[in-house]
Amino acid sequence: MVTFKSNTQQAVWVALGSLSAFLMSIVSSMVLVRYMSKSDYGTYKQILYVYNSLLVLFSAGIPSAYAYFLPRFSIEKQKDVVKRFTIVLLILGFIFSCVLFFSSGLIATILKNEKLAYSLKVFSPIPMLLLPTLGIEGIYSTLKRTHYVAIYHTVSRMVLLFSILIPVVVFQGSYIDAVYGWLASSFVLLWFGLSLKGKPYKNVDTGDSGVKTKELLTYSIPLMLATLLGVGTRAADQFFISRYFGEEVFAVYATGKLQLPFVGMITNAVITVLAPLFSKLTVNLDDTTEIKELWTRSLMKSVKLIYPSVLFFVFFSVEIFEILYGKAYIESANFFCIYSMISFFQVVVFAPLILGLGLTKFYSRLHLFEFLMVWSLGIASMYLFRSPYSIIIIVSSVEILKILFGLRHIAKVLNTRYLDLLPIKKMGSYFLHGVLVLVVLRLLVNNLWPSELIIVQTVVCFIIYVLLLLLTSKIVKLDYLESIQPMLQRVPIVRDLTFLKSTNHKS
């Protein structure tokens, strides 16, 4: 049977790695904006934009393929798979670097920034050095050693952070010095990444996996197309708002179209851990009981963490946006509330199961459907409604439809009922419980505690909200602590608390 406790701990390590990477990227931006001119910082961000845009194309979906192929082989054959994939990534990285070097002038012309012509040439060796390191998450999630993923993300981001900031902060350099620092650190990151990729197979004899490059590309290219379509979909609303409503509305919209970072961290952690498990379990579909059991338990654990958190941010969105951005951006809270509806469906992380079943072509078609729907409905809404709210409603609704269609197809392939994969009653219980507690709390705050100190008020309300959820959860027979209980019980101070003892479920 699947060890759910182990899976929970694996997901926590992945989430911690994502959190450390996120925090260091924030630190980097906070420092660079203070030491670079707007022109230099803009050029630096354009370099990142070009790199990240082309990375989707040249990585060709291969990082996701690790979690599909590796669980299907013995440790000896896994070594061969990793070697083959790394060679393909090295070749793609070399092509990527050549494209950047020789098209730097053209890119500079398109983006109307002549400084890019030289800086992209300096940056161009970096893809060749970094692409071969991709796939570490897939390797260590397959082997259930995701603490190495957290170590890799933390160490690599720290090395990159210091290599970029030292030339700028200590030596008062410009954006080009930051690029040179990045280039220098890429050699260290190449050694570190390849060392980690080879570590599990150090004393293992290589066995022939039989995986051909054609087989790899057949699986991964639809993933690349899906990712490209996803990029196009996410650009649609920004295009419509920019073109039809101007920069001031765009500023309010862009500020409000915000996904809470922890939602992405939780869902990405679940995807990383579940992908290799589903790949192994879907080899034989005669008995899908274990697949459904793993799916529903993982889904409900995500619900217990995400639902109450998102609900609080929605109910107190006005206060939170005033704290973060000031009164000028209070209207952004309206966009945030609409866009947050997606979060209640994003707990249905269907991607690992679709990819585990090898349905990458369907996955690509699903993203094509989303792309066409968002752009066509967006154009129609500009003629019919001409409202920025119509755009975010369209984006949110189509995203939800995509998730539901994906889940419906999975149910059909597994020959099971739709509702077996979507426990609406259980999910609705946590949603309604959170809403009822927040309605009561909101009424009390509005009538009994009108305060100018909104930071203090919001923090106190959050603490009261958490306590009320936990205290009333026993009455309505809900268990919010199941997802984090294995970690809490390792802490001596909280191990013997009454509300932890009441949880009897496996984690």
Q: What is the mean pLDDT of residues 374-390?
A: 89
Please give the pLDDT value at position 503. Answer: 44
Has residue 209 been placed in a domain?
Answer: no
Please give the pLDDT value at position 285. Answer: 64
Give yes or no: residues 172 and 277 share one domain.
no
Tokens of 7: 């899976």
The percentage of the chain sitting over the pLDDT mark of 90, rounded to a whole number, equals 11
Those residues with Cβ within 8 angstroms of residue 281's Cβ, 6 or more apart along the chain or in another chain:
290, 291, 294, 356
Q: Higher-confidence residue: 77 or 486? A: 77
Give yes or no: residues 413 and 435 share one domain.
no
DSSP string, 106-168: HHHHHTT-THHHHHHHHHTHHHHHHGGGTTHHHHHHHTT-THHHHHHHHHHHHHHHHHHHIII
Residue 337 has pLDDT above 70, yes or no: yes
Q: What is the mean pLDDT of residues 199-210?
A: 76
Out of 365, 392, 422, pick the residue that ends a domain: 422
Q: In the predicted model, what is the mean pLDDT of the chain? A: 80
Contact 201, 79 (CB under 8 A): yes
Alpha-carbon distances, residue 226 vs 85, 361, 369, 371, 410 (angstroms):
20, 9, 10, 10, 17
Of the pLDDT bands very low, low, confident and very high (cuts 50, 70, 90), residue 487 is: low
Residue 248 has pLDDT above 50, yes or no: yes
Give yes or no: residues 263 and 162 share one domain.
no
Please give the pLDDT value at position 284. Answer: 66
Has residue 208 been placed in a domain?
Answer: no
Residue 501 has pLDDT above 50, yes or no: no
Contact 66, 92 (CB under 8 A): no
Range among 153-157, 245-249, 264-268 with highest mean pLDDT value: 153-157
Q: What is the mean pLDDT of residues 267-291?
A: 72
Give yes or no: residues 37 and 161 share one domain.
yes
Contact 159, 189 (CB under 8 A): yes
Q: What is the mean pLDDT of residues 117-131?
A: 89
Residue 100 has pLDDT above 80, yes or no: yes
The residue among 189, 127, 129 whose CA lies nearest residue 160 is: 189
Please give the pLDDT value at position 398. Answer: 92
Half-sphere exposure of 429 (CA within 13 A, CB side): 14
The residue among 191, 189, 219 whose CA lies nearest residue 85 is: 219
The percentage of the chain sitting over the pLDDT mark of 70, rounded to a whole number, equals 90
Residue 384 has pLDDT above 80, yes or no: yes
Has residue 210 been placed in a domain?
Answer: no
Tokens of 318: 């006005």
Has residue 67 been placed in a domain?
Answer: yes
Give yes or no: residues 456 and 397 share one domain.
no
Give yes or no: residues 294 and 398 share one domain.
yes
Give yes or no: residues 373 and 482 share one domain.
no
Q: State the residue range of the domain holding 268.
A: 219-422
Contact 499, 470 (CB under 8 A): yes
Q: Higher-confidence residue: 53 or 470? A: 470
Tokens of 295: 């799916």
Give yes or no: residues 390 and 431 share one domain.
no
The per-residue pLDDT for range 338-366, each reduced to its tens digit, is 888 888 888 887 777 787 777 888 888 99
What is the rounded distance in angstroms from the CA atom of residue 351 to the CA atom of residue 407?
Answer: 9
Those residues with Cβ within 8 angstroms of residue 154's Cβ, 6 or more apart along the chain or in another chain:
17, 20, 21
Residue 121 has pLDDT above 80, yes or no: yes
Please give the pLDDT value at position 505. Answer: 44
Residue 383 has pLDDT above 50, yes or no: yes
Q: What is the mean pLDDT of residues 252-264?
A: 76
> Hey, what amino acid is at 125?
P
What is the rounded distance in angstroms from the CA atom of residue 252 to the CA atom of residue 150?
Answer: 35
Has residue 214 been placed in a domain?
Answer: no
Give yes or no: residues 401 and 471 share one domain.
no
Give yes or no: residues 395 and 322 share one domain.
yes
Give yes or no: residues 269 and 381 share one domain.
yes
* DSSP conformational letter for 211: -
Please give the pLDDT value at position 484. Answer: 61
Has residue 413 been placed in a domain?
Answer: yes
What is the rounded distance in angstroms from the CA atom of residue 355 to the CA atom of residue 68?
Answer: 7
Of the pLDDT bands very low, low, confident and very high (cuts 50, 70, 90), residue 4 is: very low
- SS3 (DSSP) at 252: helix
The per-residue pLDDT for range 290-321, each reduced to its tens digit, is 777 878 888 888 888 889 999 999 999 888 88
For 452, phi then psi, to 5°, come to -85, -20
The count of domains in the chain is 3
Range among 204-218, 242-256, 442-456 with highest mean pLDDT value: 442-456
- The torsion angle over the Cα atoms of residues 457, 459, 461 and 462, rounded to 10 degrees, is 160
Residue 163 has pLDDT above 80, yes or no: yes
Give yes or no: residues 13 and 157 share one domain.
yes
Alpha-carbon distances, residue 329 vs 8, 245, 367 (angstroms):
38, 16, 32
Please give the pLDDT value at position 226. Answer: 85
Of the pLDDT bands very low, low, confident and very high (cuts 50, 70, 90), residue 8 is: low
What is the rounded distance in angstroms from the CA atom of residue 24 to the CA atom of residue 154?
Answer: 9
Has residue 471 been placed in a domain?
Answer: yes
Please give the pLDDT value at position 483. Answer: 63
Of the pLDDT bands very low, low, confident and very high (cuts 50, 70, 90), residue 432 is: very high
> Hey, what amino acid is at 31?
V
Has residue 507 been placed in a domain?
Answer: no
Is the alpha carbon torsion for 129, 131, 137, 143 positive or negative? negative
Tokens of 98: 């050549």
Please give the pLDDT value at position 502. Answer: 45
Q: Higher-confidence residue: 125 or 292? A: 125
Please give the pLDDT value at position 375. Answer: 92
Out of 150, 170, 202, pick the residue that ends a domain: 202
List the Cα angle 297/63/30 in 5-degree steps: 90
Ranges of H-type helices in 340-359: 343-346, 351-356
Out of 366, 388, 422, pick the residue that ends a domain: 422
> Hey, what amino acid is at 246?
G
